A and B are shown apart, each in its own frame.
Chain A
Amino acid sequence: MTWENLAFRAWEKESMIRESSATTENRVSTQPIIQIIGLHKWFGEFHVLRNINLTVNKGERIVVCGPSGSGKSTLIRCINRLEDHQRGRIIVDNIELTHDIKKVEKIRAEVGMVFQHFNLFPHLTVLENLTLGPVWVRKIPKAEAEETAMLFLEKVHIAEQARKYPGQLSGGQQQRVAIARSLCMKPKVMLFDEPTSALDPEMVKEVLDVMIELAQDGMTMIVVSHEMGFARSVAHRVLFMDYGQIVEENTPEEFFSNPRHERTKLFLSQILH
């Protein structure tokens, strides 16, 4: 089977998602918001990130894919310093990430993060989950924060659940709340670490739809995901990682129809069957 064929099948398979998203226009500036230069990271002896170089401009949307254990999560967790790095530089919103925890906290407030397992705060209601950051980090008055939170809950189509606790929601609903929780901080960048891979199949679409709407609003996004339909419809660039390196980087069209490296071809053939 040729690559065009494989890609076409993926295209068909994900057409549902594609249809729900209007073509997202290119509004990428040339202003870099994230710069990663010569990044290396080790876990003990294990060299998990090897010479990563990446610049993300404002408004740009990047999808990162690659086999399990290739370092995708570690890379995006370095961007808000949930992991520290040993060599190279990471500059986010003109602040370089160092051991200075105050600067790190400042960057974290500007960078939203959505986890595979949602990580909502189970002892707080949905609304309280959303207002926590704005009230305590941004020092916004509670009433105002709640108003904003309700707006974002509406945006992720879940306003009626505001008074419930996360444990009372389905996985898809929880992930949408998690997205809204990040949005309430009015972040400049959103990071997604396999946001749909812990979800039951029927809930994947509702979360992807929300992410597509977010893309249409021009949010800068880095998404670790194997949802190729999503990558096609919103990404400006697709990165392929393997063994801690960025092996290939291209526009989605080129990436899927014309992969250059053997490892990429192998990987695509595996996820596209």
Chain B
Amino acid sequence: MEPLSSEGMGEILSPPATTLGFVGWVRRNLFNGIFNSLVTMVVLAVLMAFVPRFIKWALLDGVWYSSGQGCREAGGACWSVVTRNLRFILFGFYPYEQQWRPVLCVGLFMGLFAFSRKPRHWNRRLLYAWGTGLLIMGVLMPGGIFGLDYIEPARWGGICLTLLLSLFGLTAAYPLGVILALGRQSKLPVVKSLSVIYIELIRGVPLISLLFMASVMFPLFLPEGITVNKILRAQAAIILFTAAYIAEVVRGGLQAIPRGQYEAAESLGLDYTLKMRLIILPQALKIVIPPTVSILISAFKDTSLVVIIGLFDLLKTTQVTLANPEWMGFSTEAFSFIAVIYFVGCFSMSNLSRRLEREL
């Protein structure tokens, strides 16, 4: 009997053509099985129905820099509503000729954020850079010194306000949330119950009502003659709200750390602060990076709720633009633009999250 032929004894063969290249990829990923082939066909049909029409509307027939009247005459997307009102949408009532200041601030912020994305850049110098950056922003935005005109915070608006509320909201809510989570685990009954009450109260209330409280009720309790800036009040509401959610996520992380870690830390003679700072929190916070970033992302989006108490964040400036009779009716385009901005923000955060999980 002839031995079963084993083709090519031992030499290196290239794999069968059907598993290689474009054809192979299509087979493996789109048509491996009847069900997947069907799904592929349906998706293709849907795409073919919508994509060409979208491209025609958005790009081919789109109008990029016309008046409102010009938009109405053209049949396609009216991107002019964005381009013509860009500076108002982005910067609100910040004086026109001073808008280089918010531009600089936003640029500075994005630069710092981009650089901070790599954990290997995290060191003392970066901390100083953030400190200096925030100081510069804190001087540039209101002005009033170094010959800069004073711009009262009531006139800050658009993307600056959104970033301001988010940046300070998130950076303040995170440590507060961690402290609350530790408080909830405390052996001291007073600390523990205060933390529990706080967390449960805040989580039982929607952010909108907190914002209303901050803007309407809170001033009633202040002594006569003292007013707290509206932005600051909204900021406080966002911080308090987000912190409660972060606290619960962090608590989950703390519970995931085995008792042995606490005991090993204690048996070296570490006190509570050192034990938490050096052993428990680094591990617990790392475990909860994904849910924490989810909370930060939704907090970032929730800053848009400040429209209802009349702050001019990105959403409000867009609404105001659309209320102008010239641009009435082009909300699709304007809100698409806002959506893209929010998407870029959220996507960079979730990217950061994945990077942190991988590299820490």
Contact = CB atoms under 8 A, between A and B. Distances in A.
- Say whether A associates with B: yes
B274 interface: yes
A110 B283 CA distance: 26
A106 B267 CA distance: 10
A119 B263 contact: yes
B162 to A, nearest CB: 35
B266 interface: yes
Contacts of B265: 121
B269 A106 contact: yes
A137 B269 contact: yes
B167 to A, nearest CB: 28
Contacts of A43: none
20 contacts: A82-B266, A82-B267, A105-B269, A108-B267, A108-B268, A111-B267, A112-B267, A113-B263, A115-B260, A117-B260, A120-B264, A121-B261, A121-B265, A121-B279, A123-B283, A133-B269, A136-B270, A136-B278, A137-B269, A182-B267
Contacts of B279: 121
Nearest to B259: A119
A109 B268 contact: yes
A185 B260 contact: no
A92 B109 CA distance: 56
Nearest to B263: A82
B268 A133 contact: yes
Contact of B261 (A108, A119, A136): A119
Contacts of B56: none
Interface in B258-315: 258, 260-261, 263-271, 274, 278-279, 282-283, 286
B264 to A, nearest CB: 4
Given A121-B265, A133-B269, 7 more contacts: A82-B266, A105-B269, A105-B271, A121-B264, A133-B270, A182-B267, A182-B268
B286 A80 contact: no
A88 interface: no
A108 B278 CA distance: 17
Which residue of B269, B270, B283 has the most chain A CB atoms within 10 A of its CB atom? B269
A122 interface: yes
B339 to A, nearest CB: 39
Main secondary structure of the interface of A (DSSP, over half): mixed
Contacts of A123: 282-283, 286
Which residue of B258, B261, B267 has the most chain A CB atoms within 10 A of its CB atom? B267
A126 B231 CA distance: 49
Nearest to A138: B269
Given A108-B269, A109-B269, A115 B264 contact: yes
Contact of A119 (B260, B274, B278): B260
A137 B268 contact: yes
Interface residues of A, number: 25
A132 B268 contact: yes
A137 B270 contact: yes
Contacts of B258: 119
Interface string A114-135: 0101011111000000001100
Contacts of B267: 80, 82, 108, 111-113, 182
Nearest to B265: A121
A101 B269 CA distance: 10
Interface in A184-237: 185
Interface in A79-110: 80, 82, 101, 105-106, 108-110
B264 A119 contact: yes
Contacts of B270: 105, 132-133, 136-137
A121 to B, nearest CB: 6
Contacts of B264: 113, 115, 119-121
Contacts of B261: 119, 121
A110 B267 CA distance: 9
Contacts of B286: 123
A185 B268 contact: yes
B358 to A, nearest CB: 15
A181 B265 CA distance: 11
Contacts of A120: 264
A196 to B, nearest CB: 17
Nearest to B286: A123
B207 to A, nearest CB: 34
B269 A122 contact: no
A122 B283 contact: yes
Nearest to A107: B269
Which residue of B258, B261, B264, B265 has the most chain A CB atoms within 10 A of its CB atom? B264
A122 B278 CA distance: 12
